[in-house]
A and B are shown apart, each in its own frame.
Chain A
């Protein structure tokens, strides 16, 4: 699984315009952005152009791509259209991952912000709580949650959300620790701004760069986790997703590599694009790493 390794120490709150310009000059990052946009377009506009229902049986099972009378990317173990599956599967995968990522962001950032800002016993308590979840084996724990409580997209998002937030919490906390003693924050305090205002309107925006990077990686992890859970048999069979396609076709993959390769590539490209973008953002904000 992935851990967030963000070198945030040197990420200045460089003006967004400057950062954007750095980002755009990074071909890999732009490539990632293009891929991600492509994936999103395919997922949400694709069905308009290719409106095959991915759950209907359309031909004989296990026909390879390019077989006569078979859909373009072949059929799976039931005789369903793989291309339709790839196009439509993204929406479930992305939805589950996005909800999970938002959950992670919410829990992680809240806990991290509170711990970093207030310090003292609050920090101690929250960090101990975080450690409990850090010590649990993430995938196994989310498997247990899904298996015990029925695999629906909601349960899966929750199961993923509750295991991947610790690192984001730590990162947020580190950022808050770093930023809270800076001049401009002290100035806000001096003029009597409330804690909440300082935390969310002053510090947080400045902490965005590393947090955005972290968020892209978290999104990638969530996508991978959804795939792992589905692969291991814990997806919702009524909602086709990329991971589920791979999982369902695993018993036949020796004779039907395309049923696994295409959804696998979809997952891979999506996660890769998110990583490239995250990398790009990190480089854009961090002059030191510019020597690449």
Chain B
């Protein structure tokens, strides 16, 4: 019948149209994929070269000229990642791609896209990238750090670490005021540091601070119970924002203080104009900032969106200027192929993020080091970095990142060897199918890594499956309580090992919170090595101590390290002096300007 034939034809046409539309609508993607494939093959070809890389990089820290134990210089290192390595993963060199020519032009609005939602804006009581990105624009700190990890003046125009290392004197710059006009004094510095010491999740940062004396409004003396090499780095903008005592010191619990978001008054180059929880953070230039003629930008807008794909599209059409939240290796590669976007792995060296597989050593099966080593041999971190993550991550075999002077490459790596893995399992008394393991991971981003690990485990006869947590708090609670067997995790070094590394291994840090000692690992020698390394300013001594520490960890494998994901940042070429310093976007955009 006539009508039914028409119907059928139309239906078929519709289907065809839909398929065509889908194919055409993503024809760009087709190209992206093809060249993505090429990049992959070149990376695969260099995979062996990749393994050789760390050895080439290693000599550099030793090439440092300074040998004296000058506390001020104890962090001085060459943090530039090897150029070859950067090129290998497709990172643009920012200076090459967008040379800042001409004089800075004041004005302009910078739009930053982020998927991270801050709880509030007070970085003195809250850690993490989400708070630090806006926080470092709104708040100043005593010190800034340059590309070589050397401290530079900020709110403190000069400083001095005592000979015995038990005190640090800060001399504040004159004439600095908060956004409400009230002068910034040493009382505020003292208040901020004590608040951070008592509230900030990173206890080791300011734990040795016993008190902060304020002999006059522009001088603060920090008293320490022991020498604390991390103290200077801890005064970075992202770790010690100077908050106004006259606003926060009113008896209310500072962690839930309403002024953490409402009418936020800060000490930084930008002031808050609009805050919509989870959506938009708008900041405008603070006219009375203490550094003359800074900042250049008129306005910074942080647009928070849960979907990194939107951010990618925004970067492509130029409505978003800067972002470090690209979401997936595929998106990073897609942007790398786009000539209108600079994609770089430069910057954020102080973060030092490590993705690893950690074991609950109190689990009956996993308490046997041979089982852990077997798993180490079964998982191929190069495959993970090169194929699963499509070459956008570096393989990592130890807990301290390469950019740090304390990195020790000479440790047992457990390069993939399935036979060795199976042999170890047999030795430990397990046959195929005897072991059942559940692999946890941080939802949703680490699913790919976890899925690969499950398969790798299955390949050596372990009955593995994923344990899914629907959200971050669930996962965190589970791991913190030690209810897991193994989990993929992502932990940051935070510049100085005292801040970000010690917390994972110290037997005293088994406190039932996430990102502390969640493995249950205890080793007296490790405890003592870390304690010593945390109390001396002697860089060489620290290198030796941390070196030994890393060797022990590699032997006992409470954690099998996977990759070091660089902090990829996408930048619009019009942005001059983008934030690619050691703290990346977690630093004040003092020198950033936009060339139209």
Known pairs A237-B466, A251-B328, A255-B333; list 7 more (Cβ under 8 Å): A31-B8, A55-B455, A57-B455, A61-B329, A62-B36, A67-B33, A77-B328
Taking a contact as CB atoms under 8 Å apart, the answer to whether A79 and B470 are in contact is no
B residues near A20, Cβ cutoff 8 Å: none
Contact with A along B10-35 (1 / 0, CB 8 A): 01000000110011011001101110
Question: Complex Cα distance A28/B14, Å?
Answer: 14
Taking a contact as CB atoms under 8 Å apart, the answer to whether B452 and A255 are in contact is no
Is B308 part of the contact surface with A, judged by Cβ < 8 Å? Answer: yes
> Smallest distance from the beta carbon of B43 to chain A beta carbons, Å?
10
A-B residue pairs in contact (CB < 8 Å), sample of 8: A61-B388, A62-B330, A64-B34, A67-B37, A238-B466, A250-B307, A255-B333, A261-B19
Among B327, B451, B452, which residue has its beta carbon within 8 angstroms of that of A237?
B451
Looking at B3, B7, B18, B330, which has the most chain A CB atoms within 10 Å of its CB? Answer: B330
> Smallest distance from the beta carbon of A290 to chain B beta carbons, Å?
12
B residues near A255, Cβ cutoff 8 Å: 29, 32-33, 36, 330-331, 333-334
Is A27 part of the contact surface with B, judged by Cβ < 8 Å? Answer: yes
Taking a contact as CB atoms under 8 Å apart, the answer to whether B312 and A78 are in contact is no
Question: Complex Cα distance A151/B312, Å?
Answer: 30
Among A77, A79, A147, which residue has its beta carbon within 8 angstroms of that of B471?
A147
Is B4 part of the contact surface with A, judged by Cβ < 8 Å? Answer: yes
Closest residue of chain A to B337, judged by CB? A255
Closest residue of chain B to A235, judged by CB? B468
A residues near B331, Cβ cutoff 8 Å: 251-252, 254-255
> Smallest distance from the beta carbon of A69 to chain B beta carbons, Å?
10
Overall SS of chain A's interface: loop
Name the interface residues of B290-330: CB closer than 8 Å to any CB of A. Answer: 307-309, 312-313, 327-330
Looking at A64, A146, A292, which has the most chain B CB atoms within 10 Å of its CB? Answer: A64
> Smallest distance from the beta carbon of B300 to chain A beta carbons, Å?
26
Closest residue of chain B to A253, judged by CB? B309
A residues near B328, Cβ cutoff 8 Å: 77, 251-252
Taking a contact as CB atoms under 8 Å apart, the answer to whether A233 and B7 are in contact is no
Is A256 part of the contact surface with B, judged by Cβ < 8 Å? Answer: yes
Interface segment, B194-202, B442-450, B582-590? B442-450
Taking a contact as CB atoms under 8 Å apart, the answer to whether A151 and B470 are in contact is yes
Number of residues of chain A lying within 8 A (CB) of chain B: 37
Taking a contact as CB atoms under 8 Å apart, the answer to whether A236 and B468 are in contact is yes
A residues near B32, Cβ cutoff 8 Å: 255
Closest residue of chain A to B331, judged by CB? A254
A residues near B4, Cβ cutoff 8 Å: 26-28
Taking a contact as CB atoms under 8 Å apart, the answer to whether B29 and A254 are in contact is yes
Tell whether A256 pairs with B448 under 8 Å between CB atoms, given A150-B470, A236-B468, A251-B330: no
B residues near A150, Cβ cutoff 8 Å: 468, 470
> Smallest distance from the beta carbon of A267 to chain B beta carbons, Å?
13
Question: Complex Cα distance A27/B2, Å?
Answer: 11
Taking a contact as CB atoms under 8 Å apart, the answer to whether A250 and B309 are in contact is yes
Is B362 part of the contact surface with A, judged by Cβ < 8 Å? Answer: no
Contact with B along A233-263 (1 / 0, CB 8 A): 1101110000000001011111111000100
Among A61, A67, A250, A292, which residue has its beta carbon within 8 angstroms of that of B387?
A61
Looking at A63, A150, A151, A255, which has the most chain B CB atoms within 10 Å of its CB? Answer: A255
